[in-house]
Structure 1
Amino acid sequence: MKPQDVVVDTNAVTMQETGHSGIQFLASPELTGSRSLAFLRGTVEGGGNIHLHAHADTECFYILEGEMEMYQDLGGKGAWQKVRQGELALIGSNVKHAWRNSSSLPCVCLIITGGDVFRYLLEVIEYRKNALQQGTPRQAMLKKIKDLATETHGWFATPEENAAIGLKFG
């Protein structure tokens, strides 16, 4: 199948829950015909956060609805920046970054990224579903998710590193 032969009904794509956020896998690298191109739609509920992390794939976030704050650590100087509806946030390869939605409303964004992030998210969601069904302890789940990130050339911050930038996870 060639990429130009495909139209995806994104309204028919199931939302995969990830806690305070959700992901819709719109177009895989296989569908786009490029290992380094994938499309997702992400939703972060009001009050939700995405941990501080980094990975080799570059990411672009186009805010469709709502707003969020993006943290980027560029050369040891980290800062939060508000990203609003209609704005595009670019995150370079291996840049430490996090997200938080301080509002009470959800934020919905189109995410353009590479195949490693796409596959990692698929694996994490599948693992999380199974682990929750089996009653896996939270610490064991977090360790496995961190291991999966490392396998895809990623990095996850410690709870202390997240707390240092104002993120708390219960």
Structure 2
Amino acid sequence: MENILAVLGGPRIQHLTTLMEDEGYCLMRAEFGPGVFVPLHSHEDRETFYVLSGELEAWSDGSWTSIRAGEIFDVPANTKHSIKNGSNESTFVIAVSTVRMGEFFKKVGRPAQSVKPGPPEPADLQNFRTVAAQYGFWLGSPEDNAAIGIKLG
């Protein structure tokens, strides 16, 4: 995949459409490597994930659900959700959201080839928190995440 962005220690994202306001949506391809997760959060943008290969666990509406190849995880606006890959293989998805979400990922992501394995750098974490606040995201606390089985740090 060309022009791949690494978002903290999580998914690797490639924009498949341009980020033009009049398009109304953004199409992205994402790879969730083994053990990769996205902590509990919410935002005003709807997201829809179509699993191309592999399997993800998705948390929404108070419980975890398995999402397999050919299945969809649809996240309405302002819904608290989390995603994790508990398998030993990478999972690939197509994500559809707003141009605004695509812009968010461009601001918080870094070229994947420049990101070292391991936990994210403190500066990257701070940038993520700052940009998320600018976009009005709600980010779950370590306690919120622990309550659904996600351990941060």
Partner of 1:5: none
The answer for unaligned runs of 5 or more in structure 2 is none
What is the aligned counterpart of 1:158 among 119, 141, 144? 141
1:29-52 superposed Cα distances (whole Å, 9 cap, x missing partner): 31x832x30000011111111111
The higher-RCO structure (CA 8 Å, 6+ apart) is 2
Q: 1:81 is paired with a residue of what secondary structure?
A: strand
* Alignment equivalent of 2:27, drawn from 36, 39, 43: 39
Instruction: Report the equivalent of 1:112.
Output: 96
8 A contact 2:41–2:139 mirrored in 1: yes
Task: Select the structure of larger CA radius of gyration.
Answer: 1
CA–CA distance in structure 2, aligned partners of residues 131 and 102 of structure 1: 22
Q: Secondary structure at the match of 1:110?
A: strand
Alignment: residue pair count: 149
Distance change >3 Å, CA 33–CA 68, structure 1 → 2 = same
- 2:16 matches 1:26: yes
Q: Which residue of structure 2 lines up, in the alignment, with residue 56 of structure 1?
A: 44
- Say yes or no: does 1:15 pair with 2:8: no
Whole-angstrom CA distance in 2 between matches of 1:129 and 1:161 = 32
Judge conservation of contact 2:30–2:94 (CA < 8 Å) in 1.
Answer: yes
Q: What TM-score comes out, normalization by structure 1 length?
A: 0.78
Q: Which 10-residue stretch deviates more, 48-57 or 152-161? A: 152-161
Instruction: Provide TM-score, normalisation by structure 2.
Output: 0.86
Residue in structure 2 matching 1:148, options 131, 139, 147: 131
Residue 85 (str. 1) matches residue 73 (str. 2): no
What displacement does 1:130 show?
Answer: 9.0
Whole-angstrom CA distance in 2 between matches of 1:43 and 1:150? 25
What is the CA-CA distance between 1:14 and the residue it aligns to?
2.4
CA distance in 2, matches of 1:159, 1:127: 27
